Amino acid sequence: MHSYKAPLRDMRFIWDELLGCPQTFTRLPGCEECTADIIDAILSEAARFCEEQLAPLYRSGDEEGCTLTPRGVRTPKGFADAYARYVEGGWAALSSPPEYGGQGLPPSISLFVEDLLGSANWAWAMYPGLSHGATRTMKAHGTPEQKEIYLRKLVSGEWTGTMCLTEAHAGSDLSMLRTRAEPRADGSYAITGTKIFISAGDHDMADNIVHIVLARLPEAPAGTKGISLFVVPKKLPQPDGSLQPNAVSCGALEHKMGINASATCVMNFDGATGFLIGEANRGLSYMFTFMNTARVGTALQGIAAAELSYQGASAYALERLQGRSLAGPKNAADAADPLIVHPNIRRMLLTQKAFAEGGRAFLYWLCHLVDIAERAADPAERKQAEDLMALLTPIGKAFVTEIGYEAANLGVQVFGGHGYIREHGMEQIVRDTRIALIYEGTNAIQALDLIGRKIMGSGGELLRVFARQVEEFCAANAGREDMAAFVGALRAHGKRLEALTMHVAGAAMKNPEEADAAAFEYLMAMGYFVLGFMWARMARVAQDALAAGSTERDFYEAKVATARFYFQRVLPRFESLALCIEAGGETLMDMPAERFAR
């Protein structure tokens, strides 16, 4: 199996040369000391940890999986030891609040590190990954006492966190939630119910697990308006610092397609002691603090899959001898040419590369907007970052996981029959990443959020904020011959997107189902457009570096070549999606439901 190598050069290119993170940090309160050298040192050390500690556990963890024992869930060999080193290294505390023991670094730094962790071993990375959302939720909505009890342990990594939403009968429809919260005389609540699909719901890697749970109070309003949020620890902290068992247990481990080393649990709350977070019946709005963090984290799984699969496929294509070039032998000393000479192999590799590097640029930009939204001194700058985040988060979660899954499948295809067997590890990437299209809100739900709440709900204003960013870039580069093709394509697709938006909005006013019919294709079309914007920006930076005489010509020329490939061979997918959108929902709905039966 191919060994993971952290793509540090590409990461530096994005956060330093493309986004200018170190320069932005100099003017963000609390970030002034986060220089390029500091960021580089953090990522270099994180890369070493990932390559040496996590990557070797990727395949073995999948083969061993998790085990439910009478004492709880046991994770695969080496997982707990790696987590202890993670905590010892202070990785859990990077962007957490200093008042609770965190290092206070910009949020994007943690997400850069999560990119490395997830690419090296996504199943392992899920255990600490969910703690970040629990930390943000407690910090934003918890009482001072709750913060003092839980935040310090979550920030240090001594305890981990989960979010417990889903119930078997409800799925994504939280209005049907049944878990109960009965008030007790001491101010606590008895939480009773069963949650499913709970990632890291139980394990042997930390002393305690802090569950963030949605439940209903007695006589709460029906639907989502009657949901409250509770903190329910696996073990109850005592005044003397000891931990006492709570009535929380893992009833079963899900038997899954992938991420077998991640404990996906059925969690039973049998009158467990919990504590209300914030106000009653506002739990769903509070939970979005957790979910929005989780959605950006999930989007990183798409990049992890694309990166890991590309690394394996490109190495194999350079070494594997198979067939002859149609233009004549390129490797006359051997019986065949390497796979890399064949145009179709290059098509697949370039698609993987475009998705991995373009998706990384997109998500790092999204992560950096979090820094600005939280810390910029200028209210107008914060508002613009918040608006862009609102628009781009569902695209990041859905589009990037879709293209990540495509890239993973392309990796199997490059290997041919060898990709389908377990020896080379390519099929594991496919299995592991398939869930990313489903959890934290399926990609169809993200599409409805985009078209409904973000586009129509804002009267198109959020889209206009993004469109202005694209037009400013185009205007600034309109006179450059080396950017003409990129600028022309961006402007043309921008106008097409505007027309599509008007078309969908008009159709939905006549028939609300038209929004649902168009939503997924609309999100994907926007995703290809956003990625085009990122590749155009990267092409400009790379061409400027080449013009300045950079000695890294291979690196920058590869960027420009990949950008051209994306605009010529991938961005045209936008038009086919546009045609689907314009076709409307009639063909989806005109067949009676009973005719779907066999």
Residues 6 or more apart in contact with residue 79 via CB below 8 angstroms: 57, 61, 124, 127, 205, 261
Q: Rounded distance, CA 203 to CA 262, Å?
A: 9
Q: How many CB atoms neighbour CB 455 within 10 A?
A: 23
Nearest by Cα to 334 from 345, 320, 344: 320
The token pair at 2 is 């191919």
Crossing angle (nearest 10°) for helices 513-547 and 553-565: 150
d(CA 296, CA 441): 12
Strands 180-183 and 67-69: unpaired
Kindly report the number of other CB atoms within 10 A of residue 50's CB atom.
Answer: 24
- Which two tokens mark 60? 């073995």
Among 52, 225, 197, smallest CA distance to 130 is for: 197
8 Å CB contact between 83 and 262: no
Q: Which of 167, 406, 440, 521 is catalytic?
A: 440
Cβ neighbours of residue 146 closer than 8 Å, sequence gap 6 or more: 138, 231, 275, 277
**Per DSSP, which regions of 401-527 are E strands?**
none
Mention every residue, 6+ apart, whose C-beta is less than 8 A from residue 358. 531, 534, 535, 538, 566
- Is 88 considered catalytic here? no
For 344, counting Cβ atoms within 10 Å of its Cβ (0-12 exposed, 13-18 middle, 19+ buried), the class is exposed
For residues 44 and 7, the answer to whether their CB atoms sit within 8 Å is no
Catalytic (active-site) positions:
440
